[in-house]
C-alpha cells in the first residue's frame, strides 16, 4: 500500500486522498447509526460462510466473537468517527481487525459494501417502520378512548371553518382514527414489499462463491433473497416507501395538530392543552402556547422535504450503485426522528387534553348549525322539495340573524309568517341534540353510530371495552 492510502482499498493508490476528498467521502458521521444492523448482518453472513465451508468454523467463531466485542464497545462508548474509514462498514471491520487480526479479512468474502449497505439500511428502515407503527397504534388507542368518552359531546362541525352542522366530538376524533388506520395500512404494505434480503448480491453481479442467500435472508428475518443483484444494490424504494407513508402520516398529524391550535385559542376555547405539552411566554404571563402542536404542524414540512430529497437523489441514476446513494441516509434518519416525536406528541395531546364540552356545545348552538334540520323537516313533514325547503330555511336564518337569536328562539308566529306549513313540531328538530341524533346513517355523527365506530375500532385494536 502507498503511504497514507486507504487500508481497505488502497492497494492500487500511490497517495492518500486530499482533505476535501476525505470529508466529502465520509458517511461515518451519520451512518454510524447503522452499527447494530451492520454487526447483525455480518454475523449472519459469516455464519453462512462457515456453513457453506467458505471460511473455516474456527475462523467464523473468531470473527463472530470479535463482532460481539465490537458491539459491546460501541454500546458502551459509542462509535468512533474516523473519516479515513469512510463509513460504518469499514469502521467495524477495521476495529475487528485490531481485535482478531488478519482473519477479520475473511468476513468480506462474497460480499461488497454495496450489498452490505443495502442490507443494513433495509434492516434499519424496517425497525423505524415498526416503531412508527407501534406509536400509531398508541395514538389510535388514545383517539378511541377519548372518542368513547365523547360520543355524546356536541360540537360544531365545520366546512370552510364555518359552522356547518352539529357533530359529536367522538365523531370528530374518530375521523383521525380512520386517517391513522390508512397510514398503518400503508406502512404494512411498505414493510411487506421491503422485506427481501439484498445480501449476497455483492458489488452488483452476484458472486462466484457458493453462498446460501436463503440462509442469510432467513437469519435476518427477510421473506427471502432479492431476485436481481443489480436492482438489489441500487434499490432504495424501501426507504422511499417508508418516507412516503411517514410523510403522508405527518400530514394527518399536522391537521390534528392544527385542530388543537385552533381549539386552544381563546376565541374558541374548546380545549385546555396538557401542561406537559405546552409552554409559557417569557413576557406575557397569561399565555399557554401550543408549541408541541405547532411543531408537529411544522415537522410535516420537513417530512415532505425528506421525501423530496431522497427522490431527487435517486432520479436518473443508472444501474447499479452510485455514490450519490450515500446521501440516502440523512433524510431518512431525520424523518424517522421527526415522525416518532410527532406521533408521541399527538398521542399525549389526545390522551391528556381537557375538552371544554360546554363551550363546544354553546358554539354549536350559536351558529345556526341546525338550519339543515329545519330544511330536512320541511321535506319530510311537509313534503316540500329540498331546494324550496332550503330557501324557506334561509329566510328563517336571516330573521334570526336580524334579531340576534338562535333559530329555535324564533316564535311559531314568526316561522309561520315565513311559511304557513311550519308547525310547532319543528322545534323538536331544531335542537343540536335532535340534529346529531337524526344523522344515524352508517358512519354518521349520531351518538349510536359513533359508539358503533368506537366498538369496531376497539375490537380491531383488541382493546377491552
Ligand atoms: N458509504 C457507502 C454508502 O453509504 C457504502 C457503499 C460504498 N460502496 C462503494 N462502492 N463505494 O453508500
Q: What is the pLDDT of residues 5-35, one digit of tens each?
A: 777 777 788 788 889 999 999 999 999 999 9
For residue 3, pLDDT over 60 is answered with no
Alpha-carbon separation of residue 103 from 91, 100, 137, 199, 200 (angstroms): 16, 7, 46, 21, 20
> Does ligand 1 come within 6 angstroms of the Cβ of 121?
no
Q: What value does the mean pLDDT of the chain take?
A: 95
pLDDT level of residue 68 (50, 70, 90 thresholds): very high
For residue 287, pLDDT over 90 is answered with no
DSSP for 386-405 reads HHHHHHHHHHHHHHHHHHT-
> Does ligand 1 come within 6 angstroms of the Cβ of 31?
yes
> Distance between CA 409 and CA 430 in Å, rounded?
10
pLDDT given for residue 4 in this prediction: 63
Q: Count Cβ atoms within 10 A of the Cβ of residue 192 and give its class: 0-12 exposed, 13-18 middle, 19 or more buried.
A: exposed
pLDDT given for residue 285 in this prediction: 79
Give the end-to-end CA distance of the chain in Å, rounded to a whole number: 70
Give the model confidence (pLDDT) of 228-279 as tens digits.
999 999 999 999 999 999 999 999 999 999 999 999 999 999 999 998 888 8
pLDDT level of residue 282 (50, 70, 90 thresholds): confident
For residue 355, pLDDT over 60 is answered with yes
For residue 2, pLDDT over 80 is answered with no
Say which residue the cell 468476513 belongs to: 107
In the residue annotation, 108 being an active-site residue is answered as: no
Supply the pTM of this predicted model.
Answer: 0.93
In the residue annotation, 160 being an active-site residue is answered as: yes
Half-sphere exposure at residue 217, Cβ-oriented, CA atoms within 13 angstroms? 17
pLDDT given for residue 288 in this prediction: 84
> Does ligand 1 come within 6 angstroms of the Cβ of 233?
no
| Torsions phi, psi for 411 (to 5 deg) | -80, 165
pLDDT given for residue 84 in this prediction: 93
Give the model confidence (pLDDT) of 131-180 as tens digits.
999 999 999 999 999 999 999 999 999 999 999 999 999 999 999 999 99
pLDDT given for residue 280 in this prediction: 83
Best substitution site from 24, 117, 122, 317 to test ligand 1's pocket, by max atoms within 8 Å of Cβ?
117
In a 3-state reduction of DSSP, which class is residue 231?
helix
For residue 91, pLDDT over 90 is answered with yes
> Does ligand 1 come within 6 angstroms of the Cβ of 87?
yes
396's CB contacts (< 8 A; 6+ apart) are 371, 374, 407, 410, 414, 415, 418
- Ligand 1 centroid distance, CA of 114 (Å): 6
Say which residue the cell 344515524 belongs to: 440
Residue nearest to atom 2 of ligand 1 (CA): 326
> Does ligand 1 come within 6 angstroms of the Cβ of 117?
yes
For the four alpha carbons of 225, 227, 230 and 236, in that order, the dihedral sign comes to negative
Bridge partners of 163, per DSSP, are: 158
Residue nearest to atom 1 of ligand 1 (CA): 87
pLDDT given for residue 9 in this prediction: 76
> Distance between CA 23 and CA 247 in Å, rounded?
30
pLDDT level of residue 1 (50, 70, 90 thresholds): very low
pLDDT given for residue 433 in this prediction: 95
pLDDT given for residue 283 in this prediction: 80
For residue 224, pLDDT over 70 is answered with yes
Amino acid at each position: 500500500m502507498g503511504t497514507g492510502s486507504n487500508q481497505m482499498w488502497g492497494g492500487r493508490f500511490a497517495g492518500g486522498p486530499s482533505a476535501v476528498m476525505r470529508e466529502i467521502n465520509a458517511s461515518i458521521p451519520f451512518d454510524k447509526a447503522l452499527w447494530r444492523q451492520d454487526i447483525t448482518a455480518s454475523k449472519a453472513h459469516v455464519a453462512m460462510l462457515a456453513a457453506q465451508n467458505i471460511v473455516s468454523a474456527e475462523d467464523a467463531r473468531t470473527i463472530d466473537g470479535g463482532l460481539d466485542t465490537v458491539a459491546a464497545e460501541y454500546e458502551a462508548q459509542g462509535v468512533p468517527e474516523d473519516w479515513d474509514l469512510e463509513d460504518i462498514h469499514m469502521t467495524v471491520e477495521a476495529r475487528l481487525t485490531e481485535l482478531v487480526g488478519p482473519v477479520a479479512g475473511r468476513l468480506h468474502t462474497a460480499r461488497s459494501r454495496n450489498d452490505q449497505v443495502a442490507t443494513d439500511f433495509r434492516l434499519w428502515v424496517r425497525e423505524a417502520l415498526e416503531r412508527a407503527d407501534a406509536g400509531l397504534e398508541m395514538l389510535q388507542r388514545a383517539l378511541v378512548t377519548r372518542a368513547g368518552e365523547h360520543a355524546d359531546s356536541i360540537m360544531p362541525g365545520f366546512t370552510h371553518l364555518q359552522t356547518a352542522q352539529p357533530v359529536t366530538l367522538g365523531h370528530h376524533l374518530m375521523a383521525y382514527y380512520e386517517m391513522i388506520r390508512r397510514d398503518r395500512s400503508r406502512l404494512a404494505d411498505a414493510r411487506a414489499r421491503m422485506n427481501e434480503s439484498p445480501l449476497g448480491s455483492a458489488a452488483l453481479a452476484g458472486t462466484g462463491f457458493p453462498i446460501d442467500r436463503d440462509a442469510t435472508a432467513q437469519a435476518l428475518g427477510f421473506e427471502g433473497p432479492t431476485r436481481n443483484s443489480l436492482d438489489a444494490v441500487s434499490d432504495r424504494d424501501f426507504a422511499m416507501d417508508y418516507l412516503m407513508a411517514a410523510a403522508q402520516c405527518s400530514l394527518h398529524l399536522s391537521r390534528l395538530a392544527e385542530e388543537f391550535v385552533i381549539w386552544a385559542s381563546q376565541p374558541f376555547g374548546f380545549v385546555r392543552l396538557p401542561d406537559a405539552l405546552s409552554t409559557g411566554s417569557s413576557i406575557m404571563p397569561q399565555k399557554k402556547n401550543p408549541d408541541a402542536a405547532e411543531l408537529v404542524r411544522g415537522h410535516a414540512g420537513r417530512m415532505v422535504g425528506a421525501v423530496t430529497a431522497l427522490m431527487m437523489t435517486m432520479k436518473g441514476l443508472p444501474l447499479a450503485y452510485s455514490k450519490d446513494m450515500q446521501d440516502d441516509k440523512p433524510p431518512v434518519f431525520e424523518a424517522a426522528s421527526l415522525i416518532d416525536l410527532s406521533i408521541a406528541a399527538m398521542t399525549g395531546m389526545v390522551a391528556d387534553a381537557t375538552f371544554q364540552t360546554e363551550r363546544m356545545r354553546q358554539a354549536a348552538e350559536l351558529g345556526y348549525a341546525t338550519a339543515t334540520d329545519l330544511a330536512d323537516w320541511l321535506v319530510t313533514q311537509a313534503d316540500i322539495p329540498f331546494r324550496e325547503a332550503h330557501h324557506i330555511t334561509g329566510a328563517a336564518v336571516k330573521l334570526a340573524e336580524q334579531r340576534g337569536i338562535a333559530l329555535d328562539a324564533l316564535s311559531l308566529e314568526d316561522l309561520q309568517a315565513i311559511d304557513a306549513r311550519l308547525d310547532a313540531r319543528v322545534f323538536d328538530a331544531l335542537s343540536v341534540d335532535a340534529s346529531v341524533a337524526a344523522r344515524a346513517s352508517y358512519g354518521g355523527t349520531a351518538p349510536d353510530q359513533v359508539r358503533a365506530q368506537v366498538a369496531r375500532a376497539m375490537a380491531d385494536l383488541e382493546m377491552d371495552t
